[in-house]
Amino acid sequence: MDNRRLLIAAFLCMALVVVWSILFPPPKPEEGPGGDTPAAETVETSEAPSASQPALPAESQPPAASVAPRPPAQPVAAQAEESVVLEHGETKAVLSNRGGQLHSLEVGGARGQGRIELVRRRREGPWPFGLTTADRRPHPLNEALFAVTRSSDGSGVTFRYNGPLGAATKEISFTAEGLLQVTVDLPGQRGWGMVLGPGVRNESVEELKGRIQQAQRGAVYFTDKVKLLPPNEDEVKALAGNALRFVGVEDAYFLSVAIPVEGLDRAVLEPGLLDFTGGTDARFVPLPEKLSSAQKDMARDYRVVLKPVGESLSILAFLGAKEYDRLAQMPYGLETTIRLGMFGFLARGLLVGLQWIYDTIVPNYGWAIVLMTVLIRLLLLPLTHMSMKSMKKMQDLNPKMQAIRDKYRTKLKDKQGRPNVEMQQKQNQEIMALYKEHGVNPAGGCLPMLLQLPILFAFYSLLSTAIELRGAPWILWIHDLAVHDPYYVLPILMGATQFLQVKLAPQAGDPMQRRLFLLMPVIFTFLFLPSPSGLVLYWLTNNILTILQQWVYNRLQGSPAGGSKTGLQRG
């Protein structure tokens, strides 16, 4: 077997890996038992705890009497419920004095995509910045009406309450970076917690179960590196506060995290069910010991409960879009939540190029992808030219190569049908000598295709994570380049152009190899059916440019479309 067959086999294996990894993602972990009451916590510290950073024991759950509030010295409360609005740039936060909780936080969408609500609607609390008891149940203070004191510049608010439900003070304000500074003090109480989540945004059940969301939605935290816990986990996990740079919840495009400032003992990551029964507002349900058939079909998500060392807790909270440039400017490492894969450096370069084209040439990311593909083809033009020359030489050599194969056809096996290694080596040596005599590189035709694969992976990661491309339309029915074509027109066109591209290419190799090449458009069509429209648009444009380049090359070489007559006849 010659080197070309080995290269084709390697390429087919690589394509199979791509198909398998995208169409058949890793299976979900098996469901384990939870509990009707909040489950016990598995505490995780950094990868290598030191003497100054000991591993925490599992959280104990003291009886209610041990956390009874002190009697208030002087009653402080509001007479009626009211909302407090805080604004910073394009971010608008709405807090309720009932519990001093965050009921809404809207951010401006990237590049004119409209405003996005980052607090999930719910039928019952606690809401973000709400409180829990030691066993992570809603704290009575969530129903208290706090007295409200607004700051003079309007950037912050202080909530105070002293009454039968306990005593508490919450100070919430925007920082210059656009983060929320949150400080909570519960005099005389220990074991309580503050809530973040569950989840981010108000996706539908279908969106929550989508492939991209399932792969990039859940609890996120940074100790020695950023880690994501998918929502199908069953185990409640607690993380040591002194090991955390940030902790929270995320999806593919948005982030809601807490950055510890002072007083954090542990962060509890609690998976649960989202019960949409009876409406569009979800109810967060801790995982029961055994899931019913209806519960197995429910969407899942995480909420985070922040537990203080004593009576006070102070954090910075970021709720917003995963815009790389903005996150990288802050010193918290939040940009690490944007996962661009092993070819992240390529994806970042592609994003910068797309943004430049969008800002300076055409304000449409679909046409920006088309222009970016043209630029990539121009950069690869010397390689594709050499590839076509190599394939044409291989086509011209095809009769001589076939003559060598015919010469050894009856000698490759002995009378018992066993391989004759010596004859196989002689055949390969004659074929390689023929390549050398005519200056042909058998790998030359495959190199441009192999170079395109990292760009393909980079585009896939980019379209799956870049907030700039979320909801970005192209033309006609393509309203979002980050999701698949609803009518599958682009994938079918892509498959058709790839088939035409194979037919126009010089016909070299034996008939079996050519049949394998003709099978590739079918494989790629099924591969791209569920893929983001922007990715299919890139590959379709690349195919069209290859066809045009091949047509020009054939005209300059004086050969008809589809290769030489000899090549077609032998195929």
Q: The CATH number of the domain where 144 resides is what?
A: 2.70.98
Residue 68, Cβ density class (10 Å: 0-12 exposed, 13-18 middle, ≥19 buried): exposed
Average confidence score pLDDT of the chain? 79
308 with 410, same domain: the answer is no
Distance CA 565, CA 547 (A): 19
Final residue of a structural domain among 287, 311, 337: 337
Query: Lowest mean pLDDT: which of 64-78, 101-115, 226-240, 431-445?
Result: 64-78
| pLDDT at residue 532 tops 50 | yes
Distance CA 422, CA 77 (A): 95
345 within some domain: no
Query: Lowest mean pLDDT: which of 105-114, 374-383, 507-516?
Result: 507-516
196 with 132, same domain: the answer is yes
The average pLDDT across 64-86 equals: 73
252 with 391, same domain: the answer is no
Locus of tokens 């990894």: 21
User: Residue 306: left (phi > 0), alpha (psi -120 to 50), or beta?
Assistant: beta
In this prediction the pTM is 0.74
452 within some domain: yes
381 within some domain: yes
191 within some domain: yes
| pLDDT at residue 321 tops 50 | yes
Reported as a single tens digit per residue, the pLDDT across 322-372 is 988 889 999 999 999 988 878 888 888 888 899 999 999 999 999 999 999
Closest Cα to residue 543, out of 384, 365, 321?
A: 384
Q: Are 159 and 141 in contact (CB under 8 A)?
A: no
The average pLDDT across 432-439 equals: 73
218 within some domain: yes
| pLDDT at residue 308 tops 60 | yes
46 within some domain: no
Distance CA 43, CA 51 (A): 17
The better pLDDT of the pair 359, 41 is held by: 359
Would you state the torsion angle of the CA atoms of residues 207, 208, 209, 211, taken in this order, to the nearest 10 degrees?
70
- Residue 132 — very low, low, confident or very high, per pLDDT cuts 50/70/90? very high
Query: Lowest mean pLDDT: which of 189-193, 217-221, 316-320, 514-518?
Result: 514-518
Query: Lowest mean pLDDT: which of 39-53, 362-376, 394-408?
Result: 39-53
| pLDDT at residue 89 tops 70 | yes
Q: Are 81 and 143 in contact (CB under 8 A)?
A: no
Q: Beta strand 41-44 with 236-240: parallel, antiparallel or unpaired?
A: parallel
242 with 211, same domain: the answer is yes
292 with 408, same domain: the answer is no
324 with 466, same domain: the answer is no
325 with 360, same domain: the answer is no
The better pLDDT of the pair 314, 19 is held by: 314
91 phi/psi in degrees, rounded to 5: -100, 130
* Token pair in block for residue 398: 């095809």
Residue 554: what pLDDT? 72
CA 265 to chain centroid, in Å, comes to 30
Reported as a single tens digit per residue, the pLDDT across 273-283 is 888 887 778 88
131 has which bridge partners?
Answer: 194
The average pLDDT across 431-457 equals: 70
The C-alpha angle 355, 201, 121, rounded to 5 degrees, equals 155
Residue 113: what pLDDT? 63
354 with 463, same domain: the answer is yes
Closest Cα to residue 335, out of 167, 344, 376, 243?
A: 344
The average pLDDT across 136-142 equals: 95
319 with 408, same domain: the answer is no
The Cα-based distances of 563 to 283, 348, 403, 513, 566 in angstroms read 64, 39, 20, 16, 8
429 with 393, same domain: the answer is yes
Residue 38: what pLDDT? 57
- Residue 59 — very low, low, confident or very high, per pLDDT cuts 50/70/90? very low
Distance CA 30, CA 235 (A): 11
Locus of tokens 């649960």: 272
Residues with Cβ within 8 Å of residue 293, at least 6 apart in sequence:
none
The better pLDDT of the pair 553, 299 is held by: 299
Final residue of a structural domain among 337, 371, 387: 337
Residue 191: what pLDDT? 92
> 511-528 and 533-557 are packed helices; what angle lies between their axes, rounded to 10 degrees?
150
| pLDDT at residue 19 tops 80 | no
* Token pair in block for residue 497: 């152009």
Report how many domains make up the chain. Answer: 2
Residue 441, Cβ density class (10 Å: 0-12 exposed, 13-18 middle, ≥19 buried): middle
Largest CA distance in the chain: 105
The average pLDDT across 233-254 equals: 91
Q: Which domain holds residue 182?
A: 79-337
Most confident of 145-149, 344-348, 433-437, 497-501: 145-149
Distance CA 34, CA 30 (A): 12
| pLDDT at residue 35 tops 90 | no
264 with 303, same domain: the answer is yes
157 within some domain: yes
Position 172, amino acid: I
391 with 539, same domain: the answer is yes
Distance CA 255, CA 531 (A): 24
Can the peptide bond before residue 126 be classed as cis, meaning omega within 30 degrees of 0? yes
549 within some domain: yes
Query: Lowest mean pLDDT: which of 41-45, 94-98, 198-202, 400-404?
Result: 41-45
Final residue of a structural domain among 278, 312, 337: 337
The better pLDDT of the pair 553, 529 is held by: 529
Distance CA 129, CA 394 (A): 68
Reported as a single tens digit per residue, the pLDDT across 168-217 is 999 999 999 999 999 999 999 989 999 998 988 887 777 676 655 556 78
